[in-house]
Amino acid sequence: MLRLAPSASNKQPWRVIRKSGCYHFYEEQTPGYSSAFHFDMQGIDMGITACHFHLSAQEQGLGGRFDLCAAPRLDLPENAIYKFSWIPDDRI
Mean pLDDT value of segment 60-75 = 91
DSSP character string of 3-69: GGS--GGG---EEEEEETTEEEEEEE--TTTGGGTTS-HHHHHHHHHHHHHHHHHHHTT--EEEE--
User: How many Cα atoms are found within 13 Å in the side-chain-facing hemisphere of 3?
Assistant: 0
Q: pTM for the full model? A: 0.85
pLDDT tens for 25-55 read: 999 887 777 677 777 888 888 899 999 999 9
pLDDT of 92: 66
Per-domain boundaries in the chain: 13-91
